[in-house]
Structure 1
Amino acid sequence: MFKKEVELFEFPTSLGLRKKRHEISPGVKDLPDWLRTLGFYQGMNIYDTFHLAAPKYLMDFNETTGLLNADHAIQYAKEQAFILHKQLHNDYFKLIIGGDCSVLIGTSLALKQKGTYALFFLDGHTDYIPSECSQTGGIAGMDLAVVSEYGEENLTNISGLKPYFEEDYIYCVGNRELTPSYVAPILNTNINYYDLNETRSTGTTSITQSFLQMAEDNALDGFFIHLDVDVLSDEIMPAVDSRAEGGLTYRELARLIRPLIYHPRCTGLEITTLDPSLDTTGEITRRFIKFFYDL
């Protein structure tokens, strides 16, 4: 699966999502335990494991900012970054298991403290919207905006580190929410943006080669991969918070990330939003695990 030994980080926050009426908290917080139960870690060359307990889930909505649980998410991101940053001095592959997409904020803080990195952002959404355009206020739907300095200052400039990633060093790949008002914000940036249709027309090989060349040309310290599993087709990955028709096949996803995870500049990868409560038989997750072991 990974050529390097792996340092595993479990960051099972669900603060970035608005819970459903029937939920006590969003089920993504159980993802690390679920993957362990189904054997994802077995056979993986894990050097060490780090765990930050899931924070208590709240519905703390700020009417002024339009954000849900922002202060609590910031605190979790700081704690997450503290743990991760201490390990960035070594060459182990960093595998982060969420949680929802807000874990990207803590990851980004740690990387920014270490140096200048690129981000390969795989998601079925852009996650690049202002809070006033969000229907839920959930930070998990704004994480790419936050880490590239678009949004509330308390989120985008934690510890005075904004921007956590430069726009030119971000590739956003796989969005299939194509409503003009939704994609308008990201189109007004220097982010390298490929929606699902453009990903297929451009070609996975061209996109990854372009990304790797960009990282080399700018002599970056490395790059990181964010994988929201809802980038996959709804037919094969329905166990997510925000479902939508279409999406990447496993073959297409493999073609995108295989050249990246085996590249010497790759620092690591984070997996987010797979909700065990939506996969009661484990069949969906087992297919996902097999995909990784076949890479």
Structure 2
Amino acid sequence: MNKNISIVGVPMDLGQMRRGVDMGPSAIRYAGVMERLERLGYEINDLGNIEIAQPERIHNDPETNLRNLKAVAEGSETLASKVNEVIEKGDFPLVFGGDHSIAIGTLAGVSKNYDNLGVIWYDAHGDLNTSETSPSGNIHGMPLAVSLGIGHETLTNIGGFSPKIKPENIVIIGARSLDEGERELIRERGIKVYTMHEVDRLGMTTVMEEAIQYLKNNKTDGVHLSLDLDGLDPSDAPGVGTPVIGGISYRESHLAMEMLEESGIVTSAEFVEVNPILDEKNKTATVAVALMGSLFGEKLL
């Protein structure tokens, strides 16, 4: 793993309707992320938070069925530029959210530097909706579709190119809440998904072994980890905006991060949807930091 890490905070809460997730980056920092990673021998450069516009929150645009489209797009462009700068400098980009719409900007910045980027999407949701399929119009449910070049052109063209990733280079882990339009897109594009059924039936060890080998077989030249804390069960990560019971356990998540670290394939990462207003004594941010410890090589012995 790259020993130089640049942290970028994204206080974005415009991709959904619940307030508080914009404080996620601060909650993660407060939980001691920098000290934890420094103890592991990493050189940390905290770039602070990018600026996110705070427009008057609007209802869905009747023409697009998208909430806060302009502000989300502007924030995504800023983030894409910042992530690209981090990679060009030779650092590992570690992004803190913020709602999951920030992945639009993260992937735009990361994919510019790779020819065949792989993505591990650790999430209860597929985030493969479009304005036509979304029940809510919330953009945090669309970043994976947008990155595939599917959706409103204002979002798909962030960074000046589209698509950012290929469907065969995506692995979704922990899915247990998919809308019908997302199911159709998964079948149509052949996206690899490990739902909670597979996690339960195969076990996390097999799921991660298969996911890692799948991305290697597809000859990915980098892998981005996008970890939504709602991928975990709400009993372990209560401070999220869209909790879904029956999720991945705390220990299974540590195992997944440990196996990713051992594989050496992860070249960028983001941890999103930490909402301290909905949390219990900063528990979810603390879990996020603990998982980062495992991702970056923390061992018990």
Q: TM-score, normalised by structure 2?
A: 0.87
TM-superposed CA distance for 1:76, in Å, is 1.0
TM-superposed CA distance for 1:267, in Å, is 1.1
Q: Can you list the C-alpha shifts for 1:195-224, whole angstroms capped at 9, x where unaligned?
A: 111233233333333333343334332111
Q: Can you list the C-alpha shifts for 1:49-107, whole angstroms capped at 9, x where unaligned?
A: 22312331542432111001112211111111111101213543321101110111111
Are 1:9 and 1:97, in contact at CA under 8 Å, matched by a contact in 2? yes
The 2-side partners of 1:157 and 1:283 are apart by: 36
Are 1:14 and 1:54, in contact at CA under 8 Å, matched by a contact in 2? no
| Map of 1:88 onto structure 2 | 87
Superposed counterparts of 1:103-252, under 5 Å: 103-116=102-115, 117-177=117-177, 183-252=183-252
| Map of 1:5 onto structure 2 | 4
TM-superposed CA distance for 1:3, in Å, is 7.0
Are 2:271 and 2:288, in contact at CA under 8 Å, matched by a contact in 1? no
Give the partner amino acid of 2:35.
Q
Are 2:131 and 2:137, in contact at CA under 8 Å, matched by a contact in 1? yes
The 2-side partners of 1:108 and 1:269 are apart by: 10
CA 115–137 in structure 1, closer or farther in 2 if over 3 Å, else same: same
TM-superposed CA distance for 1:238, in Å, is 1.7
The 1-side partners of 2:144 and 2:182 are apart by: 14
The 2-side partners of 1:3 and 1:278 are apart by: 33
- Listed as ranges, the gaps of 5+ residues in structure 2 are none
Q: Can you list the C-alpha shifts for 1:141-173, whole angstroms capped at 9, x where unaligned?
A: 111111112222221233442111100001111
TM-superposed CA distance for 1:15, in Å, is 1.6
Count of residues in Structure 1 that have an aligned counterpart in Structure 2 = 288
- Listed as ranges, the gaps of 5+ residues in structure 1 are 20-25
SS in 2 for 1:126: coil
TM-superposed CA distance for 1:262, in Å, is 4.4
CA 290–173 in structure 1, closer or farther in 2 if over 3 Å, else same: closer
Does structure 1 residue 56 correspond to structure 2 residue 54?
Answer: yes
TM-superposed CA distance for 1:284, in Å, is 4.2
CA 65–225 in structure 1, closer or farther in 2 if over 3 Å, else same: same
The 1-side partners of 2:4 and 2:99 are apart by: 25
TM-superposed CA distance for 1:140, in Å, is 0.2
| Map of 1:22 onto structure 2 | none
The 2-side partners of 1:174 and 1:293 are apart by: 20
| Map of 1:47 onto structure 2 | 44
The 2-side partners of 1:252 and 1:57 are apart by: 39
The 2-side partners of 1:8 and 1:263 are apart by: 22
Q: TM-score, normalised by structure 1?
A: 0.88
SS in 1 for 2:33: coil
SS in 1 for 2:37: coil
